[in-house]
Structure 1
Amino acid sequence: MAIVRVHYKIYGRVQGVGFRWSTQREGRKLGLNGWVRNLPDGSVEGVLEGDEERVEAMIGWLHQGPPLARVTRVEVKWEQPKGEKGFRIVG
Protein backbone atom coordinates (compact mmCIF):
# COMPACT_ATOMS: atom_id res chain seq x y z
CA MET A 1 0.00 0.00 0.00
CA ALA A 2 1.93 3.00 -1.30
CA ILE A 3 1.17 6.34 0.35
CA VAL A 4 1.13 9.18 -2.15
CA ARG A 5 0.49 12.92 -2.13
CA VAL A 6 -1.08 15.14 -4.76
CA HIS A 7 -1.52 18.89 -4.86
CA TYR A 8 -4.53 19.84 -6.98
CA LYS A 9 -6.23 22.93 -8.36
CA ILE A 10 -9.79 22.92 -9.69
CA TYR A 11 -11.21 25.52 -12.09
CA GLY A 12 -14.75 26.33 -13.19
CA ARG A 13 -17.84 27.06 -11.09
CA VAL A 14 -16.32 25.64 -7.94
CA GLN A 15 -16.93 28.31 -5.29
CA GLY A 16 -20.31 28.87 -3.67
CA VAL A 17 -21.46 25.36 -4.58
CA GLY A 18 -20.30 23.39 -1.50
CA PHE A 19 -17.10 22.17 -3.16
CA ARG A 20 -14.87 22.40 -0.08
CA TRP A 21 -17.40 20.73 2.23
CA SER A 22 -18.09 17.96 -0.30
CA THR A 23 -14.36 17.43 -0.89
CA GLN A 24 -13.79 17.08 2.84
CA ARG A 25 -16.68 14.59 3.13
CA GLU A 26 -15.49 12.49 0.16
CA GLY A 27 -11.88 12.56 1.33
CA ARG A 28 -12.84 11.38 4.81
CA LYS A 29 -15.09 8.69 3.33
CA LEU A 30 -12.08 7.36 1.39
CA GLY A 31 -9.84 7.55 4.47
CA LEU A 32 -7.61 10.25 2.99
CA ASN A 33 -5.77 13.07 4.72
CA GLY A 34 -5.30 16.59 3.43
CA TRP A 35 -6.89 20.00 3.11
CA VAL A 36 -8.93 22.13 0.71
CA ARG A 37 -9.42 25.90 0.31
CA ASN A 38 -10.85 28.57 -1.97
CA LEU A 39 -8.42 30.84 -3.82
CA PRO A 40 -8.99 34.51 -4.72
CA ASP A 41 -9.01 33.69 -8.47
CA GLY A 42 -12.21 31.62 -8.03
CA SER A 43 -10.48 28.23 -8.08
CA VAL A 44 -10.21 25.61 -5.34
CA GLU A 45 -6.89 24.09 -4.28
CA GLY A 46 -5.94 21.30 -1.95
CA VAL A 47 -3.76 18.37 -1.01
CA LEU A 48 -4.60 14.67 -0.76
CA GLU A 49 -2.49 12.04 0.97
CA GLY A 50 -3.21 8.36 1.31
CA ASP A 51 -3.29 5.02 -0.45
CA GLU A 52 -2.60 5.49 -4.17
CA GLU A 53 -5.81 3.76 -5.32
CA ARG A 54 -7.93 5.91 -3.02
CA VAL A 55 -6.16 9.09 -4.10
CA GLU A 56 -6.80 8.11 -7.75
CA ALA A 57 -10.49 7.58 -6.92
CA MET A 58 -10.65 11.00 -5.28
CA ILE A 59 -9.02 12.65 -8.31
CA GLY A 60 -11.79 11.11 -10.39
CA TRP A 61 -14.38 12.60 -8.04
CA LEU A 62 -12.70 16.04 -8.27
CA HIS A 63 -13.36 16.09 -12.02
CA GLN A 64 -17.10 16.15 -11.20
CA GLY A 65 -17.37 17.67 -7.74
CA PRO A 66 -20.71 18.22 -6.02
CA PRO A 67 -23.93 18.48 -8.09
CA LEU A 68 -23.94 22.29 -8.52
CA ALA A 69 -20.27 22.51 -9.53
CA ARG A 70 -19.15 22.83 -13.15
CA VAL A 71 -15.51 21.73 -13.30
CA THR A 72 -13.68 22.94 -16.40
CA ARG A 73 -10.11 21.96 -15.53
CA VAL A 74 -8.22 19.91 -12.93
CA GLU A 75 -4.46 20.29 -12.40
CA VAL A 76 -2.73 17.57 -10.40
CA LYS A 77 0.89 17.59 -9.25
CA TRP A 78 2.36 14.50 -7.56
CA GLU A 79 4.58 15.27 -4.55
CA GLN A 80 6.40 13.49 -1.75
CA PRO A 81 4.07 12.67 1.19
CA LYS A 82 4.49 15.01 4.17
CA GLY A 83 2.36 13.18 6.75
CA GLU A 84 -0.92 15.12 6.62
CA LYS A 85 -3.27 14.28 9.48
CA GLY A 86 -7.03 14.54 9.12
CA PHE A 87 -8.91 16.30 6.34
CA ARG A 88 -9.69 19.95 6.88
CA ILE A 89 -11.03 23.05 5.19
CA VAL A 90 -8.49 25.88 5.49
CA GLY A 91 -8.55 29.57 4.64
Structure 2
Amino acid sequence: MVQEAFINGVSTRKMERLAQSLGIESLSAGQVSEITKDLSDQVEWFRTRPLEKEYPVIWVDALYEKVRCERHVISMAVALVQGLTSEGNREILAVEPLIA
Protein backbone atom coordinates (compact mmCIF):
# COMPACT_ATOMS: atom_id res chain seq x y z
CA MET A 1 0.00 0.00 0.00
CA VAL A 2 2.81 2.40 0.89
CA GLN A 3 4.71 1.72 -2.33
CA GLU A 4 1.57 2.21 -4.43
CA ALA A 5 0.74 5.46 -2.64
CA PHE A 6 4.34 6.68 -3.12
CA ILE A 7 4.23 5.86 -6.83
CA ASN A 8 0.97 7.79 -7.11
CA GLY A 9 2.52 10.86 -5.50
CA VAL A 10 1.06 10.71 -1.99
CA SER A 11 3.33 12.64 0.37
CA THR A 12 5.06 10.92 3.28
CA ARG A 13 3.01 12.99 5.74
CA LYS A 14 -0.29 11.87 4.21
CA MET A 15 0.76 8.21 4.33
CA GLU A 16 0.09 7.95 8.08
CA ARG A 17 -3.48 9.16 7.65
CA LEU A 18 -3.96 6.80 4.71
CA ALA A 19 -2.63 3.88 6.77
CA GLN A 20 -4.97 4.76 9.66
CA SER A 21 -7.94 4.83 7.30
CA LEU A 22 -7.01 1.25 6.31
CA GLY A 23 -6.83 0.12 9.94
CA ILE A 24 -3.05 0.32 10.39
CA GLU A 25 -2.55 1.80 13.86
CA SER A 26 0.89 3.33 13.46
CA LEU A 27 3.10 4.01 10.49
CA SER A 28 5.94 6.41 11.16
CA ALA A 29 7.63 8.67 8.65
CA GLY A 30 10.77 6.56 9.19
CA GLN A 31 8.92 3.39 8.23
CA VAL A 32 7.52 5.07 5.12
CA SER A 33 11.01 6.26 4.18
CA GLU A 34 12.42 2.75 4.62
CA ILE A 35 9.69 1.21 2.44
CA THR A 36 10.15 3.79 -0.31
CA LYS A 37 13.95 3.36 -0.14
CA ASP A 38 13.42 -0.36 -0.77
CA LEU A 39 11.28 0.51 -3.78
CA SER A 40 13.98 2.87 -5.08
CA ASP A 41 16.56 0.10 -4.66
CA GLN A 42 14.40 -2.32 -6.67
CA VAL A 43 13.98 0.26 -9.44
CA GLU A 44 17.74 0.92 -9.53
CA TRP A 45 18.46 -2.83 -9.77
CA PHE A 46 16.01 -3.15 -12.70
CA ARG A 47 17.47 -0.13 -14.51
CA THR A 48 21.10 -1.25 -14.19
CA ARG A 49 20.78 -5.03 -14.56
CA PRO A 50 22.75 -6.61 -17.40
CA LEU A 51 20.73 -7.84 -20.37
CA GLU A 52 22.30 -11.20 -21.12
CA LYS A 53 19.91 -12.63 -23.71
CA GLU A 54 19.57 -11.90 -27.39
CA TYR A 55 16.41 -10.06 -28.43
CA PRO A 56 15.83 -10.45 -32.19
CA VAL A 57 12.76 -8.19 -31.98
CA ILE A 58 12.42 -5.03 -29.87
CA TRP A 59 9.34 -2.83 -29.47
CA VAL A 60 9.50 0.73 -28.17
CA ASP A 61 6.37 2.63 -27.18
CA ALA A 62 5.57 5.55 -24.91
CA LEU A 63 2.69 6.48 -22.68
CA TYR A 64 1.91 9.37 -20.38
CA GLU A 65 1.99 8.71 -16.64
CA LYS A 66 1.85 10.85 -13.52
CA VAL A 67 5.43 11.04 -12.22
CA ARG A 68 6.97 12.52 -9.09
CA CYS A 69 9.40 15.26 -10.17
CA GLU A 70 11.14 16.99 -7.28
CA ARG A 71 8.22 17.86 -4.98
CA HIS A 72 5.48 17.82 -7.62
CA VAL A 73 3.55 15.23 -9.59
CA ILE A 74 3.49 15.94 -13.34
CA SER A 75 2.37 14.16 -16.50
CA MET A 76 5.39 12.80 -18.37
CA ALA A 77 6.01 10.55 -21.36
CA VAL A 78 7.50 7.21 -20.31
CA ALA A 79 9.23 4.91 -22.80
CA LEU A 80 8.46 1.20 -22.52
CA VAL A 81 10.90 -1.17 -24.24
CA GLN A 82 9.98 -4.83 -24.76
CA GLY A 83 12.15 -7.52 -26.26
CA LEU A 84 11.25 -10.86 -27.80
CA THR A 85 13.70 -13.61 -26.84
CA SER A 86 14.88 -16.31 -29.23
CA GLU A 87 12.56 -18.68 -27.32
CA GLY A 88 9.54 -16.48 -28.14
CA ASN A 89 9.04 -14.89 -24.70
CA ARG A 90 8.39 -11.17 -24.24
CA GLU A 91 10.40 -9.35 -21.58
CA ILE A 92 10.27 -5.78 -20.36
CA LEU A 93 13.75 -4.38 -20.97
CA ALA A 94 13.30 -0.78 -19.85
CA VAL A 95 10.81 1.71 -18.51
CA GLU A 96 12.31 5.19 -18.67
CA PRO A 97 10.92 8.72 -18.41
CA LEU A 98 11.45 10.82 -21.55
CA ILE A 99 12.83 14.10 -20.28
CA ALA A 100 12.37 17.01 -22.65
Q: Which has the larger radius of gyration?
A: 2
TM-score range, shorter chain: under 0.3
As a proportion of its length, which structure holds more helix?
2
Higher strand share: 1
| TM-score, with length taken from structure 1 | 0.25
